[in-house]
Amino acid sequence: MPDGPLLDLRHLKMIHAIARHGRVTDAAEALGITPSALSHRIREAERRLDVVLFTRMHKRLRMTPAADYLAETAERILSEMDRAEQDVRRMDRGVEHVVRIAVEAYSSYHWLPGFTSYLRDHLPGCDLQVMAGAGREPIQALTNRRVDLIIVSGDEVPPGTHRIALFDDELIFIMPPDHRHAGKRFINGSDVKGEDFITYTKTPEPDREFARLFRPSESYPRWTATVELPEAIVELVAAGQGTSVLAGWAVRPAIDAGRIVGARVGKDGISVAWQVLMRVEDSESGPIKDVGCALADWSASNRGFG
């Protein structure tokens, strides 16, 4: 048995590609090799490990538990390698640290220029990289080290993470400017009954509109669409194709521009806490904690992201 690792970088990239694409032809195309070369690489990896990694089902490859485990490892290693390469390029431009940041669910980054200016003044050696696609599975992205900081709603602290509180923000019921409720300061449960409603998730959350507005009044809108991108929901609402409830800070630019109008959710409103999470091992000191604290200070001075 060789002294070094049985698998090399080629094998990790192969497993990662198959996990993403499933089909031999698609994975081979992503790797820039032929399907026969990929099949040879699979056999080589299985021979070296003496473990079955894949079984064939029609034209797709089914991953065994061993392959699933290696795919998770490959995701972390390849992500770290990509990060190291990009960091080295930035260091050549005088950047000492690169911190990767993302926002849960939302892709609203109108606040980013103000924060990056603040960061340049207070932490000139740090640079931000926005990882927009990481917001769909934020905790997994943090655990897998695809991001260093993730901005999320709520006050839950998942295992292995450390939180810094940012701000409280009200949910806003949004509608087109010519909507029949456009002049109201707040929306009651009876107002939403039968309304065309677009949501990015139908999973009820204890501190949101489903539990605090719809269910208590037993008045429910007409669920017309589930759109996973809140920014796309804003466009649909502006076009008169429905209503929705979204984070106030995220929809404020569209409201200020007059493209949509907003109202409080219920007479007392629904306030949601926002926080930034980091890995526990980064919470004692270092650039990741420094940027997280800077974000909290900046958002406090600006009263949130609005």
**Pair (127, 219) in one structural domain:** yes
* The dihedral sign for the CA sequence 165, 166, 169, 174: negative
**Pair (231, 248) in one structural domain:** yes
**Pair (7, 64) in one structural domain:** yes
Host domain of residue 5: 1-94
Specify the pLDDT at position 142: 92
Pairing verdict, β 54-57 and 60-63 = antiparallel
Q: In which residue ranges of the chain is pLDDT below 70?
A: 1-4, 87, 89-95, 204
Which single residue is written with the structure tokens 């208590």?
A: 216
Specify the pLDDT at position 1: 46
Contacts of 281 (CB under 8 A, 6+ apart): none
Give the domain CATH number at 23.
1.10.10.10
Specify the pLDDT at position 171: 95
**Structural domains in the chain (count):** 2
Contacts of 147 (CB under 8 A, 6+ apart): 100, 101, 102, 131, 134, 138, 141
Reported as a single tens digit per residue, the pLDDT across 74-129 is 888 887 777 777 767 666 666 678 899 999 988 889 999 999 999 999 998 888 98
Which residue, of 34, 68, 94, is where some domain finishes? 94
**Pair (247, 216) in one structural domain:** yes
Instruction: Please spell the DSSP secondary structure of 155-188, one letter per residue.
Output: S---TTEEEEEEEEEEEEEEE-TT-TTTT-SEE-
Give the domain CATH number at 148.
3.40.190.290
Which residue, of 94, 126, 153, is where some domain finishes? 94
**Pair (84, 107) in one structural domain:** no
Which residue, of 94, 129, 151, is where some domain finishes? 94
Q: Answer left, alpha or beta for residue 59, where phi above 0 means left and psi between -120 and 50 means alpha.
A: alpha
Which single residue is written with the structure tokens 């087109």?
A: 176
Asked if residues 14 and 46 have their Cβ atoms less than 8 Å apart, the reply is no
**Pair (70, 112) in one structural domain:** no
**Pair (3, 118) in one structural domain:** no
Residue 203 backbone dihedrals phi, psi, to 5 degrees: -80, 115
Here the tokens at position 100 are: 């990767």
Query: Distance between CA atoms of 88 and 82, rounded to whole angstroms?
Result: 10
Q: Which residues pair with 61 in a beta bridge?
A: 56
> Which of these, 280, 247, 305, lies nearest to 157 by C-alpha position?
280
